[in-house]
Amino acid sequence: MNTEICSVNHLCAEEERELFRLFDLFYANTDESRFQMDLHEKDWVIRLRSEDRVVGFSTQKLFPFSGPDGPVRILFSGDTIVHPDFWDRIHLSGAFGHLVFQLLDQPGPPLYWFLISKGFRTYRFLPVFFHHFFPRYDAKDPHLKPLRDLVAFSRFANEFDPETGLIEFRQQRDHALPSVGHIPENRLSDPHISFFATANPDHVAGVELACICPLVKENITRCGDRVIRRTPVSWNA
């Protein structure tokens, strides 16, 4: 299993098509030109490879932002998919942590992760890896809401509802197939997953829940730190 953090600018056309083919396997209403437009807007792609094929990826973009308390840096995660055969692997999330560590080692304003989630597995990454984030089932960290709302509105304008935290696209967008997006009944005993199901009841239709998380080393859980340090990565950035 190989995990790579690669600059989007270093991808060739066939590598871009390979990413789309994986995405297209598990999402409905996909469009390759829209996928490529979104990909080219990002800075990095984290790729998980098994033998000679890509089995997972996540796109990432870093941008400066004027928050309610001053300048910040926002790391925005875009399209993310892992083949179901590899859901038990930690490599993609561990590589994300390596990217965060590299950005934290660079001088600059405070760093935050802006995540939009139409899948419970993506949202579940937050409580596994971080102590503080918004929104969450126990209503902790409400001070993060103003920044979340500003970032979401700046990117999605009136498609974002600050009352619900949901992004509902007016044009038809891709959404996970039931085999990927459905929440098994036994997973609803997890309060974080139950919260996601209630907060984003139309996630299977492609509705996204906007989330924000401070990216500081003190906010990373012991489990998250262990996963990051156990994940080898190669860089092509």
In this predicted structure, what is the pLDDT of residue 90?
81
Which of left, alpha, beta for 100 (phi over 0: left; psi -120 to 50: alpha)? alpha
Token pair for 95: 């590589």
- Reported as a pLDDT band with limits 50, 70 and 90, residue 172 is low
Domain count, the chain: 1
For residue range 25-70, list pLDDT tens digits in order: 888 888 899 899 999 999 999 999 998 899 999 999 999 999 999 9
For residue range 114-127, list pLDDT tens digits in order: 999 988 988 999 99
- Reported as a pLDDT band with limits 50, 70 and 90, residue 178 is low
In this predicted structure, what is the pLDDT of residue 237?
72
User: How far is 207 from 103, CA to CA, in rounded Å?
Assistant: 29
**pTM of the entire predicted model:** 0.93
Question: What one-letter code names the amino acid at 199?
Answer: A
Higher pLDDT, 148 or 178: 148
Q: Are 2 and 46 in contact (CB under 8 A)?
A: no
Cβ-based neighbours of 127, under 8 Å, separated by 6 or more: 133, 136, 192
For residue range 189-220, list pLDDT tens digits in order: 999 999 999 999 998 888 999 999 999 999 99
Question: What one-letter code names the amino acid at 30?
Answer: T
Domain span including residue 216:
2-236
Average pLDDT taken over every residue of the chain: 92
- Give the CATH number for residue 157: 3.40.630.30
In this predicted structure, what is the pLDDT of residue 1?
78
Q: Are 112 and 24 in contact (CB under 8 A)?
A: no
In this predicted structure, what is the pLDDT of residue 215?
98
In this predicted structure, what is the pLDDT of residue 181?
67
User: How far is 92 from 50, CA to CA, in rounded Å?
Assistant: 12
